[in-house]
């Protein structure tokens, strides 16, 4: 594959991300924060079939991958802590 279309040679994150879309996968923060912001710490409260990627097995996704990792003890709107959050999920912004 030509890396000029999919990012840096040896780094296939973007290609994997786009293949995910081709297979029907959504962003892990879909319907919550499709805007260019890293400031909303109150996105999902629990794995959901209504927000995010619409797969209940994906934990809450606090922020875009390019923002920063969730802080220890940070809470989603006071409901539950971000624990084992897949902040590096390919369907975040890869």
- Give me the active site residues, please: 18
Q: How far is Cα 80 from Cα 93, in angstroms, rounded to an integer?
A: 24
CB neighbours of 58 closer than 8 A, spacing ≥ 6? Answer: 28, 47, 52, 86, 89
Question: Contact, 45 vs 83, CB < 8 A?
Answer: no
């Amino acid at each position: 594959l030509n890396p000029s279309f999919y990012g840096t040679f040896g780094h296939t994150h973007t290609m994997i991300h786009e293949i995910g879309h081709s297979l029907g996968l959504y962003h892990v923060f879909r319907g919550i924060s499709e805007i260019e912001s890293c400031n909303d710490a109150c996105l999902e409260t629990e794995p959901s079939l209504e927000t995010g990627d619409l797969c209940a097995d994906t934990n809450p996704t606090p922020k875009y991958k390019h923002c920063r990792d969730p802080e220890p003890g940070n809470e989603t709107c006071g409901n539950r802590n971000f624990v084992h959050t897949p902040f590096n999920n390919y369907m975040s912004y890869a």
